[in-house]
Chain A
């Protein structure tokens, strides 16, 4: 899927390059219609008008009367920097400002590109979790616990991203550990443990996935829609189950839980 396992001369084949752009868009969280649209425009600009079929788990690219390229997609995340860059470059390609070799070279550099370092990402998730907890009704004194929960959730997700751990397992573990600061908050008698827990879990909740699923469905990309909604349901179930386990044990032990 990445550059290393390909011979360089494949990068002169327009269909392969276009498919790679599609894979990068798809794994970075672009919606189905954008992936298809961008791939079709790129293919047309490179002189190989093609039809596309994009699903969250695979994409196909067929050149009229020519060959077909298929790419399997196994993991997806949200990296809007990559979506933005490929969008800008495909605009340059369409306007004739960027040629196939130049575009291919930029693509091979963009995989894994991050605009902000992991530490900034984790800190942002922590503060966001604390603010959302306050929005859910937590007090200012509960904020450090929600911050801890957000940091744990995002830190674990970022840490496991590189390893071949299945996404459901990551979310289950993340939710389980992110629930612990809320239990600490409740155990210390500070109250509003629920808002702390919910704020921390917001980092893991598949809101974007579900929204994209419905948008895909309304746009007519039915196959993409059902698979995204199923993915969202699986992740939501994993998060709920992961958070429920420590919460259940806490309630069993203490009997009281500050809503």
Chain B
């Protein structure tokens, strides 16, 4: 519970760092709270590995698409701050520490696991966009000419 609050408030503050309008900041904090709740619930189950991160990002991404349509604002306003608590900064730090201690193999392993977690976050967000966006945007404006 404390962790959910920490994640939400830190996402909110990163929203301020990224100059988000304050209403969007509050919504982003809410998204981070829900996403972190899902992440924390799944993280208690053993052997799921990167699934909690993926599920958390999926929830954040899907809710952000809904928020973007509701508020008629770009989805980045909600996604960018809300995903920050999920970024595997601690694993990246551990990798760096292990490398400077001269344990190259385990250091590279930790670095790779940080990259895999970051990748699963990105895939979760992208998948949420791909699935939710067509559902919430009924009408698409025509593309000017040819091309795509």
Contacts and interface: CB of A to CB of B under 8 A. Distances in A.
Interface of A: 29-31, 34, 40-41, 43-44, 49-51, 64, 78-84, 87-88, 91, 94, 114-116, 120-121, 124-125, 127-128, 131-132, 134-137, 154, 194-195, 197-199, 201-203, 205, 207-208, 210-211, 213-215, 218-219, 236, 240, 243-244, 247-248, 251, 257, 259
Interface in B5-23: 6-7, 9-10, 13-21
A132 B17 contact: no
B6 A134 contact: yes
Given A207-B84, A215-B122, A248-B100, A81 B145 contact: no
Given A40-B144, A135-B7, A83 B83 contact: no
Given A128-B84, A240-B95, 18 more contacts: A29-B80, A34-B74, A40-B144, A79-B19, A80-B76, A84-B77, A116-B19, A120-B16, A127-B13, A128-B17, A131-B9, A132-B6, A135-B3, A207-B89, A211-B83, A214-B119, A214-B123, A214-B126
Nearest to A252: B100
Nearest to A50: B144
Interface string B16-35: 11111100100000000000
Nearest to B81: A80
Interface in B27-58: none
Contacts of A88: 72-73
Scoring A128, A194, A197, A236 by chain B CB atoms within 10 A of each residue's CB, the highest score goes to A128
A2 to B, nearest CB: 18
Grouping DSSP codes into helix (H, G, I), strand (E, B) and loop, the A interface class, with mixed when no group exceeds half, is helix
A243 B97 CA distance: 9
B143 A40 contact: yes
B105 to A, nearest CB: 17
B130 interface: yes
Contact of A210 (B14, B20, B118, B145): B118
Interface string B103-127: 0000000000000001101110110
Contacts of A135: 3, 6-7, 10, 85
Instruction: Sort A-B residue pairs by CB-CB distance and give the 7 closest, nearest first.
Output: A214-B122, A207-B87, A128-B13, A49-B144, A198-B93, A124-B16, A81-B19
A210 B122 contact: yes
A214 to B, nearest CB: 3
A192 to B, nearest CB: 11
B139 interface: no
A3 to B, nearest CB: 20
B121 A211 contact: yes
Nearest to A182: B93
B96 interface: yes
A136 B90 contact: yes
B90 A251 contact: no
B13 A124 contact: yes
B147 interface: yes
Contacts of B24: 80, 84
A80 B85 contact: no
A49 B80 CA distance: 31
A78 B16 contact: no
